[in-house]
């Protein structure tokens, strides 16, 4: 179950799950993705990631922040 605050920041995020299950909340929508699944969203939308299974979720994640945005 998701816990903790949702975050926002400039940019976009792309994630690809290699193993395990990852819960993703973006805005008011929550879904689970597994191996071979991916997600892409605007990081300005409140979002939260959480482990959704019994094994650790492992994936590749990229955050693209616009040039000159706060660190």
Tokens of 57: 């979720």
Q: Give residue 32's pLDDT.
A: 97
Could you report the average pLDDT of every consecutive run of 10 residues in the chain (71 residues)?
Answer: 82 97 96 97 96 96 82 59
Task: Count CB atoms within 10 A of the CB of residue 69.
Answer: 11
Q: Give residue 14's pLDDT.
A: 97
Q: Give residue 45's pLDDT.
A: 97
Instruction: Judge whether 48 and 5 are in contact, CB under 8 Å.
Output: yes
């Amino acid at each position: 179950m998701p816990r903790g605050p949702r975050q926002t920041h400039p940019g976009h995020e792309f994630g690809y799950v290699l193993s395990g299950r990852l819960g993703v909340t973006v805005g008011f929508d929550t879904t689970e993705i597994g191996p071979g699944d991916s997600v892409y969203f605007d990081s300005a939308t409140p979002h939260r990631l959480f482990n959704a299974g019994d094994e650790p979720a492992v994936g590749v994640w990229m955050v693209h922040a616009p040039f000159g945005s706060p660190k």
